[in-house]
Amino acid sequence: MYASEEDWREVDAYFVDTLVPEDEALIEARESGRRTTMPQAEVAPNQGKLLAMLCHIAGATRVLEFGTLAGYSTVWLARAVGEKGRVTSLELEEHNAAIARMNLERAGVADRVDVLVGPAADSAHRLIEDGAEPYDFVFIDADKPSNPEYLRAALALTHPGSVIVIDNVVRNGAVTDPDSPDDRVQGVRTVLADIAQDARLEATALQTVGSKGWDGFTIIRRAH
User: Which residues bind to ligand SAM, rule: CB under 6 A?
Assistant: 37-38, 41-43, 67-69, 72-73, 90-93, 96, 119-120, 141-143, 146
Instruction: Between 76 and 136, name the residue whose CB sits nearer to ligand SAM.
Output: 76
Instruction: Between 146 and 211, name the residue whose CB sits nearer to ligand SAM.
Output: 146
CB 72 to ligand SAM: min, Å: 4
Instruction: Between 78 and 195, name the residue whose CB sits nearer to ligand SAM.
Output: 78
CB 2 to ligand SAM: min, Å: 28
Instruction: Between 86 and 161, name the residue whose CB sits nearer to ligand SAM.
Output: 86
**Angle 57-144-30 from CA coordinates, rounded to 5°:** 60
214 by Cβ neighbours in 10 Å (0-12 / 13-18 / 19+) ranks as middle
CB 124 to ligand SAM: min, Å: 9
Q: How far is residue 124's CA from residue 132's CA, in Å, rounded to a whole number?
A: 10
**Over the range 47-74, which residues count as b (16 or more CB within 10 Å of their CB) and which as e?**
bbbbbbebbeebebbbbbbbbbbbbbbb
* CB 49, CB 23: distance < 8 Å: no
* DSSP structural state of residue 144: G
CB 4 to ligand SAM: min, Å: 24
CB 167 to ligand SAM: min, Å: 7
* CB 88, CB 127: distance < 8 Å: yes
